[in-house]
Structure 1
Amino acid sequence: MSQQFSRENRITQRNEFELVYRTGRRLENSHFRLYVIQRHEPTPRLGLTIPKRVGNSVVRNRLKRLIREWFRIRKQRLHALDLVIQPNALAPKLEYEELCKSLDSLIKENLSSIHKDVEGH
């Protein structure tokens, strides 16, 4: 698997976002809200929704870059998942290492239950 953040690793269509919101599991911590569903294809995908209340375009674009980098580095461990990440107003204050810890803990705490939910359906 390539280390690039390619088109196949992105959720781009509105109906795909809606599917993740409607059927996905919602996870939250003090900085992020994450929606996640299991996929049938082996590659993970990332979608980002960053509201304007998070900050101006410079702040929002910085967050997008940091979250994409987090995903790019960890995508082999996130196989077959669709993730939609929504940062909240506290997220722009995070340094990259803190952002990684926050997202890692959210995923790690819930990954086994995500797979159990999928197997149960």
Structure 2
Amino acid sequence: MNKQQRIKKNTEFQRVFKKGKSFANRQFIVYLLKGEQDEFRLGLSVSKKVGNAVARNRVKRYIRQAFLELKDDLLPNADYIIIARPQAANLDFHESKKSLEHVLKIARALPKK
């Protein structure tokens, strides 16, 4: 993912939290805010409750890779913030991607097949 596709600043996170809508399943919480930009932006939050640094970085890698694989199907002009719950540490990549697809379908950010 390039730099234009990342949400890093606290003010951007807070704007999505306040104005966006949230959707959740057992592993992930997704905040979605539709905007005017050309491509989607992604912010990640993985707390220490998920596990040690190795586990947290693995979860973040899985989320980024899943978004790269789903980028053609996602809403292009939206900001996404993904919060990983502790159960996300027990998933492999395919389970993580399936769980993210599930919560994105609930958010109507991903069309149902």
| TM-score of the superposed pair, with normalisation by structure 2 | 0.91
Asked if 1:17 corresponds to 2:13, the answer is: yes
Where does the alignment leave 5 or more consecutive residues of structure 2 unmatched?
Answer: none
Partner of 1:98: 95
Query: 4+ runs of 1 displaced by more than 6 Å?
Result: none
Whichever residue aligns with residue 37 of structure 1, its letter is L
Deviation of 1:109 after TM superposition, in Å, equals 2.4
Percent of pairs identical after alignment?
34
Q: Tell me the secondary structure at the aligned position of residue 104 of structure 1.
A: helix
Superposition RMSD in Å? 1.0
Deviation at 1:65, TM superposition (A): 0.6
Structure-2 separation of matches of 1:76 and 1:9: 14
Structure 2 residue aligned with 1:118? none
Deviation at 1:77, TM superposition (A): 2.0
Shift of 1:68: 0.5
Of 1, 6, 31, which residue of structure 1 is paired with 2:2?
Answer: 6
- 5+ unaligned residues in a row in structure 1: which ranges? 113-121
Q: Does structure 1 retain, via aligned residues, the 8 Å contact 2:22–2:31?
A: yes
1:109 aligns with 2:106: yes
Q: Which has the larger radius of gyration?
A: 1
Aligned residue pairs: how many?
A: 108
2:23/2:106 contact within 8 Å kept: no
